[in-house]
Every structure is written in C-alpha cells, then in structure tokens.
Structure 1
C-alpha cells in the first residue's frame, strides 16, 4: 500500500514510522523542512506518565472536565490507555526526557491537571527534543521525504481520496496514493497574534473542506494565557505556573481567583479570559510573577524562556514580566474515528488537523503531543482496513454549513483584503470574547473578501485562500453555537480585544 503522509510533526512522523515498520511504502510530504511545524516549538511536555497516586482514570477525568462536557469519552479513554506506551516508544526512539538524580522520570504539573503527570525534555524544550528524535528515526529508514512542497488540494476520484496536488518550485505536481494521512497542523495564523510558526495556515483543513470531508468544532480555538507581551509572540509555558508562578494585576493582586477557585491553574480558557478582561480594565498587560521560584531554578527548569526573557530586557527572577493571551491551538478540525479515518475513504487525519473528540471545547495542557503520538500510531495500524462503522457526530456538535461566499450584509467597511487585515478581524471579532454583532460583522467582511478573491498562483496566494475559507468556517461555526462553552465564549456586550505590540 502506497501511503502519503502530509506534514512532519509528531503525529505525521509517528504515523509514517509505524506505517513503514508495518511494511508499507511511505512518502512524507512537508511544507518546509522535515520536522518544521508546531511540534518543535512545544515548551510543554507529554501528559500520561502516572505517579504512585495517579491513574489513567484520573487523567481521563481531568481531560473530560477541561473539555467542558464536549469531549468524546471513547477517544479520551484511548488517549489515556495508550499514552504510557507511546511515551515509552518515544524514549526508545531517543527522546531524553528529564530525570531525577536516581534516574526516575521527572513529573511536572500544569493547569487543570489533578496530579503531576507530565514529562519534559530539556526543561522547556520538549517539542524540539521529540522532533529531533523522530526526524533522525525517519532519516534512518527508506521513507521518501519531499520537502518544500505545498499541499494545494486532495485528489478525489469515485468518492475516495487517491492522492494530492502539490506546488513545488512554482509548478504543480500530482502524487498518487492508496491512502493519504493529513498531519498538517492547525490554523494559528488566522489571528493577528499566535504562538504558531509562520506556516500554520490551515492548509490541510481547507483542502479537506474543499474535498467534502466532514469538519467540526472550528469555533473552539484555544488561546494560550501567557505570551510575553513584548516583541514577537513568545510563549511562557504553563509549567511555569505549575511550578508556582502567579498572575498579578497592577496592584500586585492575584486576580484569577476572582473567576475560578484554582486561580492560575484553572483551565486555559478561563485564565485567558480573565487576563484579557483585567488587561482591558487596567489599560496595561497583567504580569506573571515567577520571582519566588528563584533564579537558578528558573534557569535550570526553563532555559529557553530564561534566555529569551533576558534577551528582551527582563530579569524574570527579580521582576514580574508582562503577559497576554494569543491564539495557540485548534480543538476542531477534520472529523475522524478512533483510528484516524475521516468521512472520505482513503483519507486519514492525525494531530491538530484532526477532530478526534479528545479535546472537546478546551484542550487540557500537554495532551496535544500525546494525541499526536497515540492517534498517529493508530492511523498507521488502520491503513488498509475498512471502517468498522459510521461514527456520527456527537449530539452536541453543530454541523458546519458554509453559506455561499456572497456578503450577507450590506457593504464592507474594512477595505481591501490583506492577510494582516483578515488576522485583525479574526482577533477583534472572532477571538477570546465573541458577540452576535462581532461575528456577523466578521462574516460580512470575510465573505466580501472571498467574493472578490482572484486566482491563486504562489504559496502565499494559496495560504490566503485557505485562511479566508477557514475564517468563514470558524466565524460561521461560532455564530451557530449560541451558548458559551469552553474556549467559545459568547458575551452580551462587545469587549475590546487585548492589543499586543506589533513588530
């Protein structure tokens, strides 16, 4: 069986290695260099190693609570049941997770986890360590790798996916396959401010939408609470708060306890909204106070953060640093079953591009790398086997129903399209705090821009087409879900979005 894996983060590389080890012919196609993407930027760790007081059942419970009642319980059970096995596999492939002096894995705690169950590598460089190990593992095999290749579309024949169309060095090329595994990541660059690297433009989800695959839950966009509010977006890991750092207002008060009994360790959506509201009220960023952790501990546990904060003029061991939320992770995506199969025969999806149901309305910290490893392996194992049964959307899911591209209100006062303009509309109107009016205004603008779109030729052109399609789909899904749940928060009154420094 000839298998194409599109994307080379933890999910794609895991799927490719498992498919190759099962004797399948595998080609990895990646937008940039092998291993580029979000995985290498992940500061957080991998949840799923259980200490003596912990269990898979408690990990599942924490995941379901964070998901605000919309997680798929069966998918969560798979995640926690197979998590330890996948972490052991990463270790076997060369990932050097941090250990104590006696050789035991060091377990950290992050927000909304009831126990310390998260392994890290290099302190705050877990994703980079995983990416290096998996890339090296792929390089040792006969897996073919096609780099600097942009996914234009899926090739569908007789109702099944039979390959992909690529843009390589300005020319199109078609690759045939018996199965395609999408592992293209999320769509962080829908927003003006994001933790995601530049290429995260939703290409796989957009291609799946155009091909007719089922997509759901795009309204659930997770905003990471703590991004350094100075210079380009740089994430301050949730593990910093897990080690004891606090969030304070201008008066030095820990304001997050006003909205949740867990304070700084409440679910990400709660903390992000609390920060946004407080920053708007006081007219300046809130601050993360890590001074009680100590200079040596900060440098040892968070070497990357320590270096970057100092490069930007902050001594975070002696003074609180300014932080603000930014778009971080997409809980929705291409709907799959428990083995990565989508609604289109021949098409699988794994990682952030997929909507497995694990995350529900709000992802639990450090479950994303785990999800990529678990479901990447499951998708590879399912290649060539028929789908056992149709897996309907949960009753709580609102089916995506994109209207035509015509503007549904009169006029468009936003001016001509540009990516920067689109990202600002999404940040202001389809961000942390949403209203009927803001969503309707956003859709009006997005659809006017889509109606006037011209033919795409370059990679940037195709990315813009994809971002416009996903902006329409995200705003439509957010407008359709009228209740507030998890990361999707509907407000009666429009509240100004926090504005970050633009550099």
Structure 2
C-alpha cells in the first residue's frame, strides 16, 4: 500500500509501525517482504525502485547452483578478489545462503533466465572461476528484480511506503537510536517530521554520485552513511571505492554501464589503434579483477591512447537481443556497438566500505541495522567480486528481518510526532553548485589513483565547502566524502580498489580491515589540513 506523503501524519492515523526501513532498493524491499506480516514503513526519497542502484544493475546474482560448482569455489573467488580483507566466515555464510535467496526471489516473481529444459541459465563474470551468475534478459537483472519486488511490496498490506521523504538525521538517546527525522521533498526545508521507532534499517544505497563520473543514480550521494556517522556509528573500510572499468564514455551523468558480461563473452578492451593492452598488465587480460582493469583503462586514457570496448567479434549482430540495455544506451549516443568500438572510462560504481555491521546486520548503535551498499559486512574486502553485491543485499536483508523479529517479537504501534526540528536551513540558496564542486574534487583527488598531497588538498577543500554548506543532505554527503578521503589517507599502501601512487604496493602488515568514527576522522582531517596549509606556505616562499 502506498500512501501520499504529508508534511506531518494526520492524527486520524491510529499509529505508525515501530520498524522503519530507509531506502526503496533491493535491500530495503526484500527486508520489508521478509518482515511480513509484521507492519513496516519504508521511507524513500524517490518512488521505490527509481532512485536505487539495484534497478540499474546489469549483472546478476552470484550463486553456486551449477553441478560443477561449489560453495567452496564461490568463497575462494570472493576471498581472492577481496585482496586479503574478506571476512571468511561472512563470505562463507553468504555463499551458503545464496541458493535459498535465489528461490525467494523466484517466489516473488523474478523471471531469471532459463534454458530450454527450464534450468536457470548461469553466466560467468570476471574473477569467477565458474559460471554462477543468474541473470534476466542478459543485462536486465536489476530492473527485472526490482519490478518483481515492487509488485510484491505493493501487494503486501503490511508494508506502508512513504515516497518523497529524505532521511536527514537519527535521533539518539545514549547509544540507542530512537527515531528518524525526515523531510518531505515537496514541502520544502520546513516540512520535517520526527518518526519514533524501535528499529531502523538503513538500506539507503551507496556513494557513487559523490563522484562526477559514476554509474550510480543521483540519490547515491552517501547521505545514509553520513547520517549514521554523524550519529556516532562506526564506519569500516571507507577507502575502498570500486570503479567500474567500462562505463560508456559519452558525457552522460550518470554514465551508462557496459556490463562486465560483455567481457565474459569475449569482448576486448583496446586502445585507439586496436591494441589489447590489458594483457600487458595482467595475465587474465580483460577478465582481471575490476581494480586492475580500471587502472589499466585510466592509464590508457590519461596517456592519450584512449580506451574502447570492442564487441564486434564477440557479440556483433546479436547485440540488440543479448544486451539490450547497453545497446540502447550506445545507440542513443550515436554509437552502433555492432560495428564500432565503445569508448569507455572508469566510473565510481560500488562502495565496499560503509556502516560497520556484524553478521546479523547490526550496527554499533543499538536499534540501527544496515544492509546493502550503505553497510560494510566484510564480505567484499578491498574489491568486490562481480555480482556479489545483490547477493549480499538479499542475504543480509533476510538476516536483519529474522533478527528484528527475534529481538522485538511483539509489534507495537508508535505514534509519529508532529515535532519538527529547528528550521535552520529555511531560506538558504540551492546548494547544487557546492555538490558539483565536491564531485569534481572527489574524481580528481579521491578517485582511481590517489596520493598524500592530493588527499590533504581534498580535505582542505572539503573544509572550505563545509564552511558555506547548511543543507542537512549536503552535510551528510560531505561527511561521507570526508570519511572516504581520511580512510584513503590513513591506508599507506595499495590494495584492491584503493591505489596510492606514493605507496604503490600492498604491505603485509596492512592486511586487515580498518574502522573509523567521525570524531576520529575529524581529528585526522584537522592534521592533514594543517599539513597542507603549511606546505602551501612553503611553496609560496620565493
């Protein structure tokens, strides 16, 4: 049931559910369905599905369901891709539950591809040792999964959906989260309300749109991560941002994605002379882990050689039938991938870091759970294995639903208050220009290649942006950006998706996860900004 949002819920409502889920993507919807018939409320800034990266996913969901594959193989591939930082027990549990979650999705009506015998069709993606990725229509898994779940949610009477609300801050009493402050996007900055809760599940998505080149929707600005950190939640592995190596480089924001499945089917990465340069970098060529391919593409573009995905031989005339989404995006940009190589660029795609959660999805704050990209479970380590993200989302969404039911077995209705926050942001000018300034900064200094000087300069620039920012959403985004930059500065090595040109090799003693609070990040950033200012003064001396 979807209700028209109000600035404040009318008193005629008998009560509001004591479980609130923030986010209308795969993790949030799946958690709500798993909680049924317990009443829950979903709060989402955009109509469910529209502002979610889940719906844009062209890959699929990894699950060892082929007779020749095993859970052990899936775990081994996950650990290998994670560059030494994967939590083995988490990865194993996720792989063991994969088949059950696929069957859940089938029961909700997801039309996964099948062969002529009716068996699920399994594809292979980069860094997977076997074909184990279930898909829909070749490259339409995300959209098809979301369509099925949205339909299931709309048909589930225990799920209330409030669309058009932005979650801005958490109400914390001691170490316990007791409520959420949300703003009605249509009512202006003054249309805020307090939602008392017994349990909040953050499923608000990632941070990709903090970068000027990204495959993520504009809602993926790290606001959930920033909001939780500002409330005191522990953050893990924030430095690890995965850049997809084959975004279609046609100047669109977000950039269309040329799915990894194209390379799995034999498409080649070439420079403008047709040379397959990836084999000079890694023995697996185009099927090397994403971080290696992204840096190879980055280097080729910055050297002036350009980078292109050549699908002419591997896919050719079958492109419209096999990869409709990519084909449509290319044709819209005036590129026919059947006869012309596709220009590509690395783009911010997925955040392995996020709110630190345990094996049940619990954060460091009582009453706050997190799942999906906003969380950091330890399943991905320093570099996510392709198609493990959607799997992690459904596995942890299901675990959270079970945990909440176990901790709060008796449902209670709690009335939403008409208490509003102080309207400190009312009347402020639009801050889109500040956000664009931050996005360009993140691309330049906290992107595919990083170094100390750039990170210190970035933190100083973030301070300058923060000095004029007032909007709560932008403050949350700035907080997320600071956490990423500070974590990248603190990790003085290169590992997985994190590459420091001044520390280009992994250090064995650094093969462990790292954790941050916002207070700790602020202290580190203060020292970095002071160092940047001191170096700038010396540089200005004659």
With structure 2 as the length reference, what TM-score do the two structures score?
A: 0.82
Q: Distance in 1 between matches of 2:45 and 2:81?
A: 32
Indicate the SS of the match to 1:292: coil
Q: Distance in 1 between matches of 2:497 and 2:315?
A: 33
Alignment of 1:316-465 (within 5 A): 316-383=337-404, 385=406, 418-450=434-466, 452-456=467-471, 462-465=472-475
Q: Which residue of 1 aligns with 2:160?
A: 144
Question: Residue deviations 1:238-268, cap 9 Å, x none?
Answer: 0000011010112212111111111101110
Q: Distance in 1 between matches of 2:314 and 2:498?
A: 33
Q: Distance in 1 between matches of 2:322 and 2:212?
A: 30
Q: Which residue of 2 aligns with 1:468?
A: 478
Unaligned runs of 5+ in 1: 388-415, 457-461, 495-503
Q: Distance in 2 between matches of 1:436 and 1:45?
A: 37
The reply to whether residue 35 of structure 1 matches residue 49 of structure 2 is yes
Q: Which residue of 1 aligns with 2:497?
A: 487
Question: Residue deviations 1:420-472, cap 9 Å, x none?
Answer: 1111111011100011111111111112222x13432xxxxx33212211111
Q: Which residue of 2 aligns with 1:8?
A: 24
After superposition, the CA RMSD in angstroms is 1.7
Equivalenced residues, count: 457
What's the CA shift for 1:315?
A: 1.6
Q: Which residue of 1 aligns with 2:70?
A: 55
What's the CA shift for 1:417?
A: 6.8
Q: Alignment partner for residue 135 of structure 1, among 137, 142, 150? A: 150
Q: Distance in 2 between matches of 1:299 and 1:471?
A: 38
Indicate the SS of the match to 1:293: coil
Question: Residue deviations 1:165-221, cap 9 Å, x none?
Answer: 000122001111110000000011111111001111111111100110111111000
Alignment of 1:283-302 (within 5 A): 283-302=304-323
What's the CA shift for 1:474?
A: 0.9
Q: Which is worse superposed, 306-315 or 166-175? A: 306-315
Q: Alignment partner for residue 85 of structure 1, among 97, 100, 104? A: 100
Q: Which residue of 2 aligns with 1:391?
A: none
Q: Distance in 2 between matches of 1:455 and 1:280?
A: 36
Q: Distance in 1 between matches of 2:317 and 2:141?
A: 20
Q: Which residue of 2 aligns with 1:108?
A: 123
- Please say if residues 49 and 119 of structure 1, whose CA atoms lie closer than 8 Å, have aligned partners that are also in contact: no
Q: Distance in 1 between matches of 2:244 and 2:39?
A: 38
Q: Alignment partner for residue 81 of structure 2, among 66, 88, 112? A: 66
- Please say if residues 190 and 201 of structure 1, whose CA atoms lie closer than 8 Å, have aligned partners that are also in contact: yes
Alignment of 1:107-186 (within 5 A): 107-142=122-157, 143-168=159-184, 169-170=187-188, 171-186=191-206
Q: Distance in 1 between matches of 2:490 and 2:155?
A: 48
- Please say if residues 170 and 179 of structure 2, whose CA atoms lie closer than 8 Å, have aligned partners that are also in contact: yes
Unaligned runs of 5+ in 2: 1-16, 409-431, 505-542
- Please say if residues 213 and 344 of structure 1, whose CA atoms lie closer than 8 Å, have aligned partners that are also in contact: yes
Indicate the SS of the match to 2:313: helix
- Please say if residues 168 and 473 of structure 2, whose CA atoms lie closer than 8 Å, have aligned partners that are also in contact: no
Indicate the SS of the match to 1:35: coil
Question: Residue deviations 1:101-157, cap 9 Å, x none?
Answer: 221211111110011110111221100111011111111112111110000111112
Q: Alignment partner for residue 279 of structure 2, among 257, 261, 275? A: 257
Larger radius of gyration: 2
Q: Which residue of 1 aligns with 2:413?
A: none
Q: Distance in 1 between matches of 2:470 and 2:485?
A: 23
Indicate the SS of the match to 2:244: strand
- Please say if residues 245 and 293 of structure 1, whose CA atoms lie closer than 8 Å, have aligned partners that are also in contact: yes
- Please say if residues 293 and 317 of structure 1, whose CA atoms lie closer than 8 Å, have aligned partners that are also in contact: no
- Please say if residues 188 and 194 of structure 1, whose CA atoms lie closer than 8 Å, have aligned partners that are also in contact: yes
Question: Residue deviations 1:453-494, cap 9 Å, x none?
Answer: 3432xxxxx332122111111111100000110000010399
- Please say if residues 447 and 472 of structure 1, whose CA atoms lie closer than 8 Å, have aligned partners that are also in contact: no
Indicate the SS of the match to 2:41: strand
Q: Which residue of 2 aligns with 1:499?
A: none
